[in-house]
Amino acid sequence: MKKIETDKIKTWFVTGASSGFGHETCKQLLERGYNVIAVSRRVPDFNESNALCLSVDVTDQEQVKNAISKGIEYFGGIDVIFCNAGITENKTLEEQKIESLYNIMQTNFYGTFNVINSILPYLRENKKGTIITMSSQSGITYRAYGTAYCASKHAVEALSSVCWHETRKFCRVMTVEPGFFPQTNVVSNVKRNNISVIEDYKNLKDYHKKIRNHRINDLVLGVKYIIDTVELEKLPRRLMLGEDAINKIQEEIKSIKSDLKYSKKLKFLKKEKFKKFINKILKKG
């Protein structure tokens, strides 16, 4: 497949850069000679001359805008935005506290919105740019005890899809949907006491089929595939990473197809012209 010109993706702005996918992405980008603006609440630990490390809370749009301005000033521009910052927890819907739900939505969804919303005028003016959003397999399907996390990632999916549609004249957009990567902070962020204390919610089985001969997803390989894909001229709308992610998303697609088959049998409109039908509704209103 044809590769994109290097100068079109030379400088990356990466959020959540102090750990997990973000940190490994910055590391590999620097090894490949890219410029990196690495941002997270805790200042990332990169000392290379082609790295600008900043402390940024993505839930604060002013901080995001300032970081973007500093990055443009330091490197002369920004080509790729990687919205990777995210947090998680394990709670059932019944046990989910609104304050915790709000915090997760603030980081995962509003943080992603803040970055994209802040950079779009710049990308539109320059008629080029690449936006990568970090979703999850849970953004397409779901898991038990994932109330806040799944909701936030479904919201990121919707935001990314709207962005993909609206910005096609000047921007490339791709959503990354990884499965379980134990080298990330997902493991350390999920405490055992987060699992339900209510008997009816204990030991819920996974809806999806078990993966045979499951191997642990490797973070280094996962990040390599992200960068390799961004280096292509044409991006897929979605990049699914991990055998578990592909398996679960396949199962969800089967479920949607089954529901669609049933729904298609239903008749919703009388046989009359759409315009005439709408005019009738407007007159009644």
Mean pLDDT to the nearest integer, 186-212: 66
Q: Are 252 and 140 in contact (CB under 8 A)?
A: yes
Please pick, among 34, 153, 160, 248, the residue that the annotation labels catalytic.
153
Give me the pLDDT at residue 43, please. Answer: 95
Q: Could you tell me the fold of the domain covering 6-257? A: Rossmann fold (3.40.50)
C-beta atoms surrounding 1 within 10 Å: 7
Please pick, among 110, 149, 152, 160, the residue that the annotation labels catalytic.
149
Task: State the number of CA atoms in the 13 A half-sphere of 27 facing the CB.
Answer: 15
**Cα(89)–Cα(87) distance, integer angstroms:** 7
Give me the pLDDT at residue 250, please. Answer: 93
Q: Are 76 and 89 in contact (CB under 8 A)?
A: no
**Which tokens hold the place of 208?**
């999806």
161 assigned to active site: no
Nearest to 136 by CA among 55, 9, 252: 252
* Of the listed ranges 24-28, 102-106, 214-218, 238-242, the one predicted with least confidence: 214-218
Please pick, among 40, 91, 118, 135, the residue that the annotation labels catalytic.
135
Better-scored residue on pLDDT, 244 or 280: 244
pLDDT tops 70 at residue 178: yes
Give me the pLDDT at residue 102, please. Answer: 96
Burial of 260 (0-12, 13-18, 19+ CB in 10 A): exposed
pLDDT tops 80 at residue 209: no
pLDDT tops 90 at residue 31: yes
pLDDT tops 90 at residue 196: no
Angle between helix 219-230 and helix 20-31 axes, rounded to 10 deg: 60
Better-scored residue on pLDDT, 270 or 24: 24
pLDDT tops 60 at residue 194: no
What one-letter code names the amino acid at 255?
A: S
Please pick, among 18, 118, 138, 152, the residue that the annotation labels catalytic.
18
153 assigned to active site: yes
**Which tokens hold the place of 139?**
């953004």
201 assigned to active site: no
Give me the pLDDT at residue 183, please. Answer: 66
**Segment 32-81, tens digit of pLDDT:** 999 999 999 999 999 999 999 999 999 999 999 999 999 999 999 999 99
Give me the pLDDT at residue 126, please. Answer: 96
Give me the pLDDT at residue 191, please. Answer: 45
Average pLDDT, the chain: 90
Give me the pLDDT at residue 268, please. Answer: 72
149 assigned to active site: yes
Give me the pLDDT at residue 182, please. Answer: 74
Q: Are 240 and 249 in contact (CB under 8 A)?
A: yes
* Percentage of the chain modeled with pLDDT above 70: 90
